[in-house]
Amino acid sequence: MILFILTGVIITIALYQYFVQHFKTFSRLGIPGPKPTFLLGNLPEILKKGQLQAIIDWRSEYGKVFGYFEGYTPVLSVSDPDLLKEVLVKDFENFQARKPFPLAPRKSLGLFLENGHQWKRSRTLLTPAFSAGKLKQMFGIMNECTDHLLENLKKKTHACKVIDIYDLYQCLTLDVIGRCAFGLRTNAQEDNEDPFLINVRSLFNRLSKTMILPAVLLVPFLQYFVFALKNIVVLFGMNPVVWIRTKMREIIQIRKDMGANASTFDLVQQMLFSKAKDGSSAFSEREIVAQSMTFLLAGYETTSTVLAFLSHLLAHNQPVQKKLAEEIDDIIGEMDVNYENVKDLPYFDMVFDEVCRLYPTASLIVTRQAKQTATYSGITIPAGMNIQADVWGLHHDEEFWEQPTVFNPDRFRKENKQQIKPYSFLPFGAGPRSCIGSRFAMLETKIAMVRVLRQFSFLPCDASKDIELECRGAIVPKNGINVLVESRDRSRKISRYS
């Protein structure tokens, strides 16, 4: 009995010493940061403030490079452009892996979370699906889905001038990604009870509210129990991920039955029937499901958020809205919007970049993990260390941007753009792991906003002055975005704003 107690005491002391040393990781490296609490790290402050606000506050206190503990896991936050250039581009081979996501499945992660050879193979096989030629093929689908958006705007502006524009954009982007990626005709814009819409929204809502993630951050070993229980959970209708995966498998089986010569083109067809260099099939069914989940969730969340932030900023910056509408009138006029003319909108490009600077939705998901220990300008990054690019900090830094909280598209005028500090603007990441769907997202945004602004104008309302943000992977508006929408008198070219 005494031996048993003594053994327990020794183990307890050893564990205590281990954790004490673990939470001194950054102090040993000479890297500043908030003091972690024993066992909990900096998780209490993250949960209290939200991760985005906590990082904003820590950056203000500790500078462009600091360390914090996401529960047990040490994370190096970096908003120094020169160091990010080393991590994301110059020394990419050492930082090819992303920071692990605690609730990621054990196999078939999808492109966003894959690493090593698996990531290289997937990136190579998926890149052709986002070529200019393929985007041109997708244009018609995006345009058709935008028809439904315009109809919904007409109905809502007749019934109520103030609307939650974010809700409409979410339905649009789900329909677009559903058809472009999977040939799946979701009906989100016409049916609020569309099963895909309900399950995708349920997934994101639970990501922002569940206590499972904080528990896994504190005790990473718990993730194995989470996945062991997932099939039990779905029996009670509580797992939208399993529901979506099941539907994806049904789509894949339909495509297999249709065969490789089917006229349909989309991402599933590309993944199912493309060939690797050795002649074997590019992806297994499990991999196709994982990749499909990645593009479904990313395509739904990020583009709808950018569209919503853009609408909000136009409502509160009438001169910019007027100038953007005039460009659309001058370049496109009464012609049908097509792939060529929607690309030739330089002021729109400036506005788009400024929206992405002011509200970078990918603020907390540009991450890497060091393979080997490396030192840059006196900062040592040990092997296994997780690096998080603090994109929000970069985009709001007074050193790189004059009056960074002010919405000013002229920052991205051609002559001004050349003066921007390299790697201080990272809306889609940088280097070989930059966002594969960035051109897809921008094309979808352009089609939707150009066509909306030809018929409608955004005005501010009392409910739209301040936006509360939350992080659920991407940075999104917590309570939607309300704007006043009015039908536009095209003959006056919104002269009432002059």
Find the range with the poorest average confidence among 24-28, 213-217, 286-290, 339-343.
213-217
Q: So what's the pLDDT on residue 233?
A: 45
Helices then strands, counting H and E runs in the chain, come out as 20, 11
Q: Residue 320's pLDDT is what?
A: 97
Residue pair 429/98 in contact (Cβ under 8 Å)? The answer is no
Q: Is 161 helix (H, G, I), strand (E, B) or coil?
A: coil
- Taking the domains of the chain in order of start, what are their residue ranges? 72-101+109-497
89, with CB counted inside 10 A (0-12, 13-18, 19+), is middle
Q: What is the CATH number of domain 72-101+109-497?
A: 1.10.630.10
With CA atoms as reference, report the closest residue to 177 among 304, 272, 262, 342. Answer: 304
Question: Binning pLDDT at 50, 70 and 90, where does residue 18 land?
Answer: confident
The reported pLDDT for the residue numbered 262 is 66
Average pLDDT score over the chain: 85
The percent helix, strand, coil of the chain (3-state, each to 5) is 60, 10, 30
| DSSP code string of 318-330 | HHHHHHHHHHHHH
Tens of pLDDT, residues 470-497: 887 789 998 899 999 998 764 444 443 3
Which pairs count as long-range contacts for 42-50, CB under 8 Å and 24+ apart, including other chains? 42/68, 42/69, 42/70, 43/69, 43/70, 43/71, 43/214, 43/217, 43/218, 46/70, 47/214, 50/469, 50/470, 50/471
Arithmetic mean of pLDDT, 223-245: 57
Residue 198 and residue 179: Cα distance in Å, rounded?
17
**pLDDT the model gives residue 492:** 46
Q: Using CA atoms, how far apart are residues 311 and 449, in angstroms rounded to an integer? A: 8
- Enter the tokens of residue 212: 């499972």
Q: How far apart are the first and last CA of the chain?
A: 87
pLDDT surpassing 80 at residue 232: no
What's the pLDDT band for 192 if we cut at 50, 70, 90?
confident
pLDDT category of residue 60 using cuts at 50, 70 and 90: very high
**pLDDT reported for residue 190:** 84
Query: Which residues 6+ apart lie within 8 Å of 128 measured at CB?
Result: 134, 270, 274
How far from 481 is each of 171, 445, 461, CA to CA, in Å? 14, 17, 10
Mean pLDDT is lowest, of 117-126, 334-343, 460-469, for 460-469
Residue 183 confidence (pLDDT):
75
Number of other CB atoms surrounding residue 461 within 10 Å: 15
The whole-model pTM stands at 0.88
Residue length of the chain: 498
Assess contact for 33 and 66: CB atoms under 8 A. Answer: yes
The arithmetic mean of pLDDT across residues 14-42, rounded, is 90
Judge whether 223 and 102 are in contact, CB under 8 Å. yes
347-406, pLDDT tens digit by residue? 999 999 999 999 999 888 899 999 999 999 999 999 999 999 999 999 999 999 999 999
Work out the percent of the chain whose per-residue pLDDT is above 90.
47
Q: If DSSP codes are grouped into helix, strand and coil, which group holds residue 376?
A: strand
Q: What angle do CA 177, 175, 357 make, to 5 degrees?
A: 60
pLDDT digits (tens, 9 = 90+) for 263-293: 666 788 778 877 666 555 678 888 888 888 8
Phi, psi dihedrals of residue 192, rounded to the nearest 5°:
-65, -15
Q: Tell me which H or E stretch contains 217.
A: helix 212-218
Position 17 scores a pLDDT of 85
**Which tokens hold the place of 116?**
């090593």
pLDDT of 295 over the 60 cut = yes
